[in-house]
Amino acid sequence: MLKLGVNIDHVATLREARYRGRGFGEPDAAEAAKICEAAGAYGITAHLREDRRHILDRDVWKLREVVKRLNLEMANTPEIISIALKLKPDIVCLVPEHRLEVTTEGGLDVAGHEKSLAETCKKMKDAGIDVSLFIAPDEKQIEASARVGSQYIELHTGQFAEAFLEKKLPPGSDGAGLPELQRLISAAKQAHALGLGVNAGHGLNYENLPTLFSVPHMEELNIGHSIVSHAVFVGMKTAVTEMLHLMKGYKG
């Protein structure tokens, strides 16, 4: 059964738009996380960025207290690594991070940073924390991900989401002839053959999700913005429930 990790970063974005630097404010990310889990989400994802633009340190510690499964998205930097080793999330997802980007723009260059990533993977493994690497559907990056010792990859679905939008595909389209989808299919098969668990995320929403179901071996989807934005109109519980209902169509 395909699992849902709800990224609650943009709940904190809304709070910070009004209460930045004040140490309190609404909406509360941890309360949102509890609603998501109660609605059936498998886990909660939060990205503690170096610039603390949305999720703050106090958020991740509160989340660790109240959620059943915490996925900490993070850059491979000494400060954030140190926090993760103390926090002990269930899993970390290492992502590239640039200060000027609006959201994560591309996949991690695992092949170009094998030594440092292997060191981080070992530290996390020794602390009992699983590791996922957020990568583009690229053969070299998948091979490198297996070499450095991660348990999972998370396939960057951003290019697929953009192509779906640009080509104005209807919801439920099989995506035939879409190169971005074919790359994801090939990448998932390769990763599975190498013994890596396959997760996916970025830009996924209620319209393009059924088309992604052509990708085999997926275990978990991490979805944030579309759920949070839909929740503005229907509430968080309903937004999560509707996404989970869509995900039942995945046959693996």
Query: In CATH, what number is assigned to the domain containing residue 232?
Result: 3.20.20.70
Q: Is residue 64 in a domain?
A: yes
Instruction: Note down pLDDT in tens along the chain; length 252 residues.
Output: 999 999 999 999 999 999 998 989 999 999 999 999 999 999 999 999 999 999 999 999 999 999 999 999 999 999 999 999 999 999 999 999 765 555 556 799 999 999 999 999 999 999 999 999 999 999 999 999 999 999 999 999 999 999 999 988 888 788 888 999 999 999 999 999 999 999 999 999 999 999 999 999 999 999 999 999 999 999 999 999 999 999 999 998
- CA–CA distance from 211 to each of 29, 174, 185, 251 (Å)? 30, 5, 11, 12
Active-site residue set: 47, 73, 202
pTM metric for this prediction: 0.94
Q: Is residue 133 in a domain?
A: yes
If you compute the radius of gyration of the chain from its CA atoms, what whole number of angstroms results? Answer: 17
Q: Is residue 201 in a domain?
A: yes
Which of 126, 118, 127, 195 has the alpha carbon at shortest distance from 149? Answer: 118
Q: Is residue 232 in a domain?
A: yes
- DSSP single-letter state for residue 169: P
Tokens 């919801």 belong to 171
Q: Is residue 102 in a domain?
A: yes
Residue 60: which domain range?
3-247
Q: How many domains does the chain have?
A: 1
Q: Is residue 252 in a domain?
A: no
